[in-house]
Amino acid sequence: MRYNEDRIQQLIRERHVHNAPSSGIQDAILEELTQLGFQNEKTGLFLNYDVDLRPDYYCPVEKTGIMVEVERGRTTPNNMDLLDLWKCHICDHASYLFLVVPKVRQTGNGGEDPQFSRVCKRLAPFFERRNYVNVDAVYLFGY
């Protein structure tokens, strides 16, 4: 994904504000993801489970696929990073997770909460031998 394009960077800066939804960030990268073959809100990936789940974006790749999840304010406070990893873990059609998270999240009192580094620390144990999940890799993108 080409996040370094000025146009995309500007859209993300404008939409990454306190209490804004993650859909604003999704919209900033939707065109790029669509051009790369990703489908928005792909259905039918979790038919083996009694759950109503959809990834933000999905792209089949050879015998597997890539899920893209875009988070903003609820990344670690609501454990969305862990939910996203779990979704990829139980998905029979994806072995890779592209997780897009803020580097920092603005708090209501003007502070900053370091989301990117926290997500790195939280997901790392799942890739240690004793805790392996069946996700081949998580690529973490910070904005």
Task: Give the model confidence (pLDDT) of 12-36 as tens digits.
Answer: 888 888 788 788 888 888 888 999 9
Count of the separate structural domains present in the chain: 1
Higher pLDDT, 20 or 37: 37
Half-sphere exposure of 23 (CA within 13 A, CB side): 2
pLDDT tens sequence across 72-87 = 878 888 999 999 999 9
Residue whose token pair is 């009192």: 109
> Is 1 a member of any domain?
no
Which 3 state secondary structure label does DSSP give 34? helix
Range of the domain at 137: 6-142
Q: How far, in Å, CA of 86 to CA of 65, rounded?
A: 15
124 phi, psi to nearest 5 deg: -55, -45
> Is 110 a member of any domain?
yes
> Is 57 a member of any domain?
yes
Q: How far, in Å, CA of 70 to CA of 55, rounded?
A: 9
pLDDT tens sequence across 107-139 = 878 888 899 999 999 999 999 999 999 999 999
- Both tokens assigned to 130: 């004793």
> Is 13 a member of any domain?
yes
